[in-house]
Amino acid sequence: MSNTNEASTRAKTARTPRRRPVALKKADAPASPGREAGQPPTKSRRRPAVIAAGVALAIVGGLGSWFYASTVGDTVTVLTTSADIARGATITSENLTTLQIAGGQDTTAVAAEQAASVIGETATVDLPTGTMITSDNVGAGIAVETGQSIVGVALSVAQLPSYPLAAGDQVRLVDTPVSQGDPPASSPESFEATVFTTRFDEGSSTWIVDLVVPQSQAADIAARGATGRVALILDSVAAE
């Protein structure tokens, strides 16, 4: 019985054909958007206008850098004040220093090599420390005309007004009585004058005021000033 079943099974196996394995095809990759499959990638196009604009910007930037470097590198040394100088005071070498500024500026600043032309001149306005010396704030002072003289008078703080004197101020030199004496019974004698320069003498703690006076009165004013019995009155301030 078993032999009969085995024989039957072999017969069926012999009649059934064997299936060959089928190879599956791989799905094609989807084509890139914007172009068909199989075409090479597109190359980016450079626009001539964009390239020209970039070149122009590079040229402008280079010129700007060159101009800045050349301007900053070109400096000029000018004169400035190293101390406060009052209006009407004489400019000296001790109250001058130098400062470097960028070149090419429209300025009336006095160059350092022209210091000799400034020394001995008069400050026409108050010059605080660090002020740039220009042709507008320094001048020759007031002129002494023919028939006039300059007389120097030493005065204490009590003999002067508290308002600072300057060249060109109109003043009067007035006779005063002796210390703690009676006031004069009549109007004291006075002499009109113009301030030429002022200077403080630290040794005697007095102000030396140079006055421009008529030549005919110079001797009288000098004699009165030597006695110390005078006072100075400020009548009008010179225009700055």
148-179+186-236 folds as Elongation Factor Tu (Ef-tu); domain 3 (2.40.30)
CATH architecture label of 75-139: Alpha-Beta Complex (3.90)
Domain borders along the chain are 75-139, 148-179+186-236
Q: How many helices (H) and strands (E) does the chain have?
A: 3, 9
pLDDT for the residue 10: 57
Judging by beta carbons within 10 Å of its beta carbon (0-12, 13-18, 19+), is residue 47 exposed, middle or buried? exposed
Tokens standing for residue 192 = 């009109």
Same topology, domains 75-139 and 148-179+186-236? Answer is no
pLDDT in tens, 200-217: 888 999 999 999 999 999
Q: Dump pLDDT digits (tens) for 47-72.
A: 666 666 666 666 656 556 555 555 55
Confidence band (pLDDT; 50, 70, 90) for 40? low
What DSSP designation does 49 have?
Answer: H
pLDDT tens profile 128-187: 999 999 988 888 777 788 999 999 999 999 999 999 888 889 999 999 988 777 777 788
